[in-house]
């Protein structure tokens, strides 16, 4: 989470709104932040500090998204960014250098898809769809429910 925040803070200094957004997204994809997040989600109970970091990360990412919004499709919402980052994290081949190259390739396609133009089909992801993975898993030893 701290790397995500660092990338957002660094990108916020960029003067051009779209460049700030792109710098942020490229930095997060390059740091491979979402691969770890997706892998660990729901496997532990986040601490208060982790929750505070998550709120800060969301605030920074949303601010960068909102700065770039005038250049985006009207239907684009900050939740779309979460899914786009997860899509990039899913790109993985045995060669790490090739993984990086492919992620950059598909990130370019995804960023172009956010730009203003044709309408986006369907509704954006809901909060429940974005956060379901953080719910305790039934086989989680930390789950003290009775079933």
Please state whether the predicted TM-score (pTM) of the whole model is above 0.85. no
Reported as a pLDDT band with limits 50, 70 and 90, residue 51 is confident
**Neighbour-count burial of 87, counting CB atoms closer than 10 A to its CB (0-12 exposed, 13-18 middle, 19+ buried):** middle
Q: What per-residue confidence (pLDDT) applies to 9?
A: 97
| 85 within 8 A of 8, measured Cβ to Cβ | no
126-131 — which CB contacts under 8 Å span 24+ positions?
A: 126/79, 127/79, 130/79, 130/82, 130/83
Q: Which tokens sit at 118?
A: 């044709």
CA atoms within 13 Å, Cβ hemisphere of 146: 0
Reported as a pLDDT band with limits 50, 70 and 90, residue 37 is low
pLDDT digits (tens, 9 = 90+) for 96-128: 999 999 999 999 999 999 998 878 778 888 888
Q: What per-residue confidence (pLDDT) applies to 101?
A: 92
Rounded to 5°, the CA angle 105-110-113 comes to 130
The length of the chain is 147
Reported as a pLDDT band with limits 50, 70 and 90, residue 147 is very low
Higher-confidence residue of 54 and 119: namely 54
Residue 38 has pLDDT above 90, yes or no: no
């Amino acid at each position: 989470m701290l790397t995500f925040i660092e990338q957002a803070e660094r990108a916020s200094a960029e003067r051009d709104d779209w460049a700030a957004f792109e710098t942020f997204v490229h930095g997060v994809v390059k740091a491979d932040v979402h691969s770890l997040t997706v892998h660990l989600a729901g496997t532990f109970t986040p601490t208060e500090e982790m929750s505070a970091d998550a709120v800060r990360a969301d605030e920074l990412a949303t601010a960068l998204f909102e700065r770039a919004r005038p250049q985006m499709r009207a239907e684009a919402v900050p939740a779309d960014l979460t899914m786009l980052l997860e899509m990039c994290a899913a790109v993985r081949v045995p060669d790490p250098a090739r993984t990086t190259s492919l992620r950059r390739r598909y990130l370019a396609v995804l960023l172009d898809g956010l730009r203003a133009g044709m309408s986006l089909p369907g509704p954006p992801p809901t909060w429940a769809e974005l956060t379901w993975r953080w719910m305790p898993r039934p086989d989680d030893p930390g789950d003290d429910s009775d079933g």
